[in-house]
Copies of this chain bind each other. A is one copy, B any other.
């Protein structure tokens, strides 16, 4: 149940090349400066999106990958009947969008976000020459795959388990601070967990009543009993 943590790109805000934000590859790199220059030629942005703005539409040509600079981005599909499912959230530092030819899902800002666009073909051609880049990309994708498997597994468990697992993971990723702030509205969490907002709300109320957590406000929780939360996840 514990997702394996891979090296991921991190946002290099204090970049020497001005407004351009580059992927900061880990490890000493053969010719890091040359690589960075090559990468910045492929970049576009970063571009700012407000919540619910569409970054890439289902069916769009998948010419660009996305690197989240700030905020939260959702990868989702909306059906004819209006219902929506979110297959993944992406946080700052996440690189994603490896569709082939066309995006099968749409990419939208789940909270105000800055996104850097990276030309897919160009990155691929760099990767085919630079082994390190290639294995970095492979590792990133593998990591996403593992997360997706975890998510699939989660979807066939009880509402309590889904919500508990989501909150625990979010809390862990945000450093287990005193307050757990939900970065996206309940509707997005519900769509990610395959629940309705009503069930999500009721489940949180249930966790509150069992003393697992307290509500400071709708969007701000406090984890009271980590042990109990872990138990919920089974």
Distance (Å) between the CB of A35 and the closest chain B CB? 15
A89 cross-chain contacts in B, Cβ below 8 A? none
A153 cross-chain contacts in B, Cβ below 8 A? 77, 85, 87
- Cross-chain contact of A99 among B127, B146, B234 (Cβ < 8 A): B146
Find residues 188-221 in chain A having any chain B CB closer than 8 Å to their own CB: 194
Contact (Cβ within 8 A) B99 A4: yes
Distance (Å) between the CB of A181 and the closest chain B CB? 25
Contact (Cβ within 8 A) B100 A142: yes
Q: How many residues of A contact B (CB 8 A)?
A: 44
This chain: copies in complex: 2
Distance (Å) between the CB of A144 and the closest chain B CB? 6
Q: Is A15 an interface residue (CB 8 A)?
A: no
- Cross-chain contact of A141 among B80, B99, B129, B145 (Cβ < 8 A): B145
Distance (Å) between the CB of A149 and the closest chain B CB? 5
* Residues of chain A at the chain B interface (Cβ within 8 Å): 3-4, 6, 75, 77, 79-80, 85, 87-88, 98-102, 104-105, 124, 127-129, 131-132, 134-135, 137-139, 141-146, 148-153, 155-156, 194, 234
